[in-house]
A and B are shown apart, each in its own frame.
Chain A
Amino acid sequence: MYLRRFILGAAAAAPMLVALAGAARADVISSDDAKTFITQSGKQLVDIVNNSSGTQKGTALRQLVNQIVAVDQVGDYVLGRYVNVATPQQHQDFQTLFHQLLSYNITYQINAYQGVSFTVNSATPQGNDMLVDTTITAPGKAPADVGWAVDNVGGQPKITDVIVAGTSLRITTRNDYASVIADNGGQVSALLAAMQKQITRLSAAQ
């Protein structure tokens, strides 16, 4: 009796599941689209790094980061289980600080790459994302293989992670932030204070 109901129910639900699976697949970005997106974004990045300077460079980089990176989604991933612990105000403050800090961090790191060039190699699916492998070269530095995870966010391709030598930037940042919160008795406010302090320090250095 129960088996018959189960089989009938499964048969009725099957077309719906297939439709849902089709919809889910449609959301996954194709390898060609991901490679094109990374090629275009990389060109913009290289142009800013090699052709601007000072505050103009910093501003241009921050604008580009907000345009090509899924900052809100990455921010929520990085905050991890503390998304449920943070108050709505703390969550909003975190997102604001995360936007600023990510831009400052990228600006800090990219400053060492004057004369940078890059080549896009291949793209392979990784979970929900498409991982685009690139090789970045800069004068006086060994070539670096960098992977860019790209996903469709709000109908637009966006970067969701950066993989260098098998290490994920968002996992590393998540562990970094979780450590700050855990060392301060599980208080999200301690993380916000540490982020603010870091932004002040990095903006003074730039």
Chain B
Amino acid sequence: MDKTKATLKRRLRQSLAGIAPGLLLATALSGCATAPPKTDAADYQAYQQLNDPIEPTNRFFYKVNDGLDTYFMKPVAKGYVDITTQGIRNHVGNFVTNIGEPARFVNFMFEGMPKDTGTALVRFLVNSTIGIGGIFDPATSFGYKETDTDFGLTLAIWGMPPGPYLYLPGFGPSGVRDVLNIPVEYFATPMELAPESAALNDFGYAEAGLHLINTRANFLGPIDQVKATALDPYATFRSLYRQSRASAIQQIYLSNGQTPPAWVQPQP
């Protein structure tokens, strides 16, 4: 039984790792936005700055995700909010954040950010012990505030540009650089170091599901507001995604005690 589950998990991983290049190929083939002529300098410059060459395909996947969200994720998240308090949701958020801390530790090392690396290590050690497995976050009150990172941001700090915008089915807003984070994220968890077992697999699925629902619940208000107030929600989410990524890079430099380079400032 365990062997079957282990095989299933391996196949799942393989298929997930294969999604990113497959998606890139499918999206590249299925629809491209028409670039304005180079003679129209202002329009052409704006098009280049937008960097969304497969916008029609991205918009299609945005509609697919929006449908899935409206009829599945949002009702589930609302139900979750009804049966939990803000305190419980904060503890779930703390627990999920703590599980991601080792991956942040490794990414900060690759980014060459010694202070951030130390902070991630201290946070994991303190919150896993005093914080009872990460349910509480005493590290923040000790002065070790969380700074987020992932492999996409590591690539950014190595100098890789974000590349064209991608809206992925299921995963949502991304880009050619950030999509590489998906397979890395899947493997970069402390559970990978533990021996294979049915209980560990079940824990992994439960944690992933809870993470998804808790995150969606935290964004119930903001997502509703964007949909209600934006003239073009797709363009608004694209802008918010890019700005938040630029801000995350800036935050990594600031928390490490360095001046952020000029290129990470969000552009209008």
Enumerate chain A interface residues (CB-CB to B < 8 A): 77, 80-81, 105, 108-109, 112, 140-142, 165-168, 171-172, 174-180, 182-183, 186, 191, 194-195, 198, 202, 205
B228 within 8 A of A: yes
Most buried by B among A80, A81, A109, A179: A179
CB-CB nearest 7 A-B residue pairs: A166-B247, A179-B235, A175-B239, A167-B243, A105-B229, A179-B232, A176-B236
Whether the pair B221, A112 counts as a contact (CB closer than 8 A) is: yes
Q: Shortest Cβ distance from A74 into chain B, in angstroms?
A: 12
Whether the pair A182, B86 counts as a contact (CB closer than 8 A) is: no
Provide the bound-state CA to CA distance between A72 and B89, in Å: 40
Whether the pair A166, B246 counts as a contact (CB closer than 8 A) is: yes
When distances are taken between beta carbons in the complex, the residues of chain A under 8 Å from B250 are 166
B251 within 8 A of A: yes
Whether the pair B235, A176 counts as a contact (CB closer than 8 A) is: yes
Whether the pair A168, B243 counts as a contact (CB closer than 8 A) is: yes
Provide the bound-state CA to CA distance between A65 and B42, in Å: 33
Whether the pair B232, A171 counts as a contact (CB closer than 8 A) is: no
Interchain Cβ contacts within 8 Å, total number: 82
Enumerate chain B interface residues (CB-CB to A < 8 A): 42-43, 46-47, 50, 86, 89-90, 218, 221, 225, 228-232, 234-236, 238-240, 243-244, 246-248, 250-251, 266-268
Whether the pair B235, A166 counts as a contact (CB closer than 8 A) is: no
Whether the pair B243, A109 counts as a contact (CB closer than 8 A) is: no
In the complex, the chain B residue whose C-beta lies closest to that of A113 is B221
Whether the pair A81, B243 counts as a contact (CB closer than 8 A) is: no
In the complex, the chain B residue whose C-beta lies closest to that of A175 is B239
Instruction: Offer 25 A-B interface pairs, CB within 8 angstroms, sorted by A.
Output: A77-B268, A80-B268, A108-B225, A141-B86, A141-B221, A165-B247, A166-B244, A166-B248, A167-B240, A167-B243, A167-B244, A167-B247, A171-B243, A171-B266, A172-B239, A172-B243, A174-B268, A176-B231, A176-B236, A179-B234, A180-B232, A186-B43, A195-B231, A202-B228, A205-B228
Known: A109-B225, A176-B230, A178-B46. 10 other contacts (CB 8 A): A140-B86, A165-B247, A166-B243, A166-B247, A167-B243, A171-B266, A176-B231, A176-B239, A180-B232, A180-B235
Q: Shortest Cβ distance from B252 into chain A, in angstroms?
A: 12
Provide the bound-state CA to CA distance between A172 and B236, in Å: 6
When distances are taken between beta carbons in the complex, the residues of chain A under 8 Å from B234 are 179
Whether the pair A108, B228 counts as a contact (CB closer than 8 A) is: yes
Question: Among A140, A165, A171, which residue has its beta carbon within 8 angstroms of that of B239?
Answer: A171
Whether the pair B42, A166 counts as a contact (CB closer than 8 A) is: no
Provide the bound-state CA to CA distance between A135 and B229, in Å: 23
Whether the pair B239, A142 counts as a contact (CB closer than 8 A) is: no
Whether the pair A175, B235 counts as a contact (CB closer than 8 A) is: yes
When distances are taken between beta carbons in the complex, the residues of chain A under 8 Å from B238 are 175
Whether the pair A142, B244 counts as a contact (CB closer than 8 A) is: no
Provide the bound-state CA to CA distance between A179 and B267, in Å: 15
In the complex, the chain B residue whose C-beta lies closest to that of A139 is B86
Q: Shortest Cβ distance from B215 into chain A, in angstroms?
A: 12
When distances are taken between beta carbons in the complex, the residues of chain A under 8 Å from B230 are 176
